[in-house]
Copies of this chain bind each other. A is one copy, B any other.
Amino acid sequence: MRLPIGFRAGSTRAKIKPSGKPDLGLLVSGTPCSWAFVGTLNRAAAPSVNRGRKLYASGGLLQAIVVNAGNANCATGQAGVEADRRMAELAAVQLGIAPEAVLTGSTGVIGQPLPIEKIAAGLPQIQLGPEIDPFMEAILTTDLVPKMAEAELPGGARVVGICKGSGMIQPNMATMLAYILTDAAVSQAELRQGWKGVIDKSFNQVTVDTDTSTNDMAVLLANGASGEVPLPEFWAAVEGVCVSLARQLARDGEGATKLLTVKVNGALSDEEARKAALAVAASPLWKSAVYGNDPNWGRVMMAIGKSGAHFAVDRVRISLQGIPLYAGRVLEFDRASVSEAMRAEEVIVEVDLAEGEGQGVAWGCDLTEEYVRINALYTT
């Protein structure tokens, strides 16, 4: 996928991943960018997240991102903090910019020293080009597919987003690694004000396994190369890109065979609707039923019940693949044909809480034996 004007990206094989696949990515804008950032709320946050948070608080502009996969550089002590700082410096020197204009990112196994010498050796080998794909490829871990989305704005500016992540995914005010780039001109203040709202409706509504990562971050960069754009269209485009990435992320959840989309309407507030939707998308019992094409809607009821959202059992409505299963009471339905309808790339659950106007959507995936297999033996 072509980058927005003024951005270039590339990657190399720095031999951090045992597989020998690309594992070091560099992304640069020709001019400094306004930016917005959210990082994981996990208290064991990695040095890259803590450094990003500090850079963000300082208020400066950003011009480059350097990311490695295969090693999370988390719980690696003072040496890890140093290695993270060094990674930014090495990229800065190579690009001829200030280290404070370089954001770092790391993803992979927790608690192993970051081989900074491999990063030092790898960085000069990176060829920068106009496509984002090589960078995307370099930040994958257990992901099976790259995740990219784009949108075009009035006047020709574009929004291009990528993200990685497949397990350890239940973002909490944060997300996996996601980078959204635009050549639209949008002020730092505007970006910062709007970003969290987009996150809450996209990445924060994705769940693969309820485990909040230590290395999550979602970053939005605007270099202004294509000039100003109407803000409503800008945010709609950013949200569209993020929602597309959120869906791709859920579909590629570890071991997943299908995408699970949960739409909740009629909640007391949008926040309650999102909470209820996420509880259904995260329920291991419902996810197992989705895998087995089993229309066991009682588990949807259980999940909204534990979510804390307000509703009454004798008013709530539940549909599956467009087929009503419960409407304040148990409905008659043909189990075999609903099960057949669940044999699809996407299983859609719709819940009406019948309490108010709040709406929300969450994305997840089914739970399969393969999820267990992938995660029973990841470090060894």
Taking beta carbons and an 8 Å cutoff, which residues of A are in contact with B? Answer: 41-45, 72, 74-78, 109-113, 167-168, 172, 209-214, 282-285, 288-289, 291-292, 294-299, 301-311, 313-314, 326, 328-330, 335, 339, 367-369, 371-380
Q: For A298, what are the chain B residues with a Cβ–Cβ distance below 8 Å?
A: 72, 74-75, 109-111, 379
Asked if A43 contacts B305 (CB within 8 A), the reply is yes
Number of copies: 2
Q: For A378, what are the chain B residues with a Cβ–Cβ distance below 8 Å?
A: 289, 294, 296
For this complex, 7 residue pairs linking A to B, each with C-beta atoms less than 8 Å apart, are A75-B301, A75-B330, A167-B285, A294-B376, A295-B379, A367-B372, A372-B372
Which 10 residue pairs across A and B have the least CB separation, nearest first? A110-B298, A292-B376, A44-B305, A288-B375, A369-B369, A212-B306, A42-B305, A111-B298, A77-B329, A43-B305
Asked if B211 contacts A303 (CB within 8 A), the reply is yes
Q: For A297, what are the chain B residues with a Cβ–Cβ distance below 8 Å?
A: 111
Task: Using CB atoms, name the residue of chain B closest to A336.
Answer: B380
Task: Using CB atoms, name the residue of chain B closest to A167.
Answer: B285
Asked if B309 contacts A43 (CB within 8 A), the reply is yes
Asked if B314 contacts A77 (CB within 8 A), the reply is yes
Give complex CA distance A290, B375 in Å. 10
With known contacts A111-B301, A330-B113, A292–B211 Cβ distance under 8 A: no
Q: For A78, what are the chain B residues with a Cβ–Cβ distance below 8 Å?
A: 314
Give complex CA distance A309, B110 in Å. 19
Q: For A75, what are the chain B residues with a Cβ–Cβ distance below 8 Å?
A: 298, 301, 313, 326, 330
Q: For A72, what are the chain B residues with a Cβ–Cβ distance below 8 Å?
A: 298
Asked if A110 contacts B283 (CB within 8 A), the reply is no
Asked if B372 contacts A302 (CB within 8 A), the reply is no
Shortest Cβ gap from A75 to chain B (Å): 5
With known contacts A111-B297, A285-B168, A339-B380, A375–B302 Cβ distance under 8 A: no
Give complex CA distance A248, B376 in Å. 23
Instruction: Indicate the member of A45, A110, A310, A368 with the most B CB atoms within 10 Å.
Output: A110
Task: Using CB atoms, name the residue of chain B closest to A276.
Answer: B43
Instruction: Indicate the member of A302, A367, A380 with the most B CB atoms within 10 Å.
Output: A302
Asked if A330 contacts B112 (CB within 8 A), the reply is yes
Give complex CA distance A289, B310 in Å. 36
Asked if B214 contacts A292 (CB within 8 A), the reply is no
Asked if B210 contacts A380 (CB within 8 A), the reply is no
With known contacts A109-B298, A209-B284, A369-B372, A43–B291 Cβ distance under 8 A: no
Task: Using CB atoms, name the residue of chain B closest to A255.
Answer: B372
For A110, give its contact among B299, B314, B339, B380 (CB under 8 Å). Answer: B299
Task: Using CB atoms, name the residue of chain B closest to A43.
Answer: B305
